[in-house]
A and B are shown apart, each in its own frame.
Chain A
């Protein structure tokens, strides 16, 4: 099963959930996260969101994250789909799904991958608002989220 896909097109959440446990009788829990484009950011309407990435590094980075998550949480399967290009409010951006024997590991594994992705995968968002376009700033809160897993990141730091 392909684990990482970077694509312009939308994804089918139902089909991804099915694929995560298809043919594996040991799976008792599938957890998935979908990130979407907010129509407002800090009170300002967001008309469009453009996503840029670093082809090659993006896939390698996310594959490496999955290699860490699978043994750590005992995952049976993991899947990450991230969209790039021009998106509109309400569109799907990202899918992270994992399968495990029990729900605890599945919830944790999914959140771990998402926290990792936010701070380590080379994606950049640019918003279009009525006042023009602007690059979205990294958030220190995302580094703090990763720190809960014993992983350090200074992505959102000032320098």
Chain B
């Protein structure tokens, strides 16, 4: 299945604005994050456990247990600092 992944703020600077990621099967947000971090290099640097990363699934703030389905839009970003 295909997932549209987007990055914002410091993650965008490190990884670019986004990409399409192919996954063999339905996964959780946590699994997707782990797969991306497993690429190593900058991906590991910004997405590894212990880094403060928030995620959104289909534009709703979600936790890592959320289930990602084909065609989903997933975003990874640092804690928000608006206002």
Interface residues of A (CB under 8 A from B): 35, 51-54, 56-57, 60-61, 82, 93-94, 114, 117-126, 135-138, 155-159
- Minimal Cβ-Cβ distance residue in A for B59: A57
Q: Is B49 an interface residue (CB 8 A)?
A: yes
Q: Which B residues touch A114, using CB under 8 A?
A: 83
- Minimal Cβ-Cβ distance residue in B for A51: B82
The answer for the CA separation of A125 and B83 in the assembled complex, in Å, is: 9
13 contacts between A and B (CB under 8 A): A54-B8, A60-B59, A60-B60, A61-B59, A114-B83, A124-B82, A135-B10, A135-B81, A136-B81, A137-B81, A138-B52, A138-B79, A156-B79
The answer for the CA separation of A94 and B82 in the assembled complex, in Å, is: 9
Please report the number of residue pairs spanning A and B whose Cβ atoms sit closer than 8 angstroms.
Answer: 85
Interface size class of B (residues with CB under 8 A): 20 to 34
Interface residues of B (CB under 8 A from A): 6, 8-10, 12, 49-52, 54, 56, 59-61, 75, 77-83
Main secondary structure of the interface of B (DSSP, over half): loop
- The answer to whether B75 and A61 touch across the interface, beta carbons within 8 angstroms, is no
The answer for the CA separation of A86 and B23 in the assembled complex, in Å, is: 37
Main secondary structure of the interface of A (DSSP, over half): mixed
- The answer to whether B75 and A54 touch across the interface, beta carbons within 8 angstroms, is yes
**A54-B77, A56-B59, A120-B61 known; A155-B82 Cβ under 8 A:** no
**A117-B82, A138-B81 known; A126-B52 Cβ under 8 A:** no
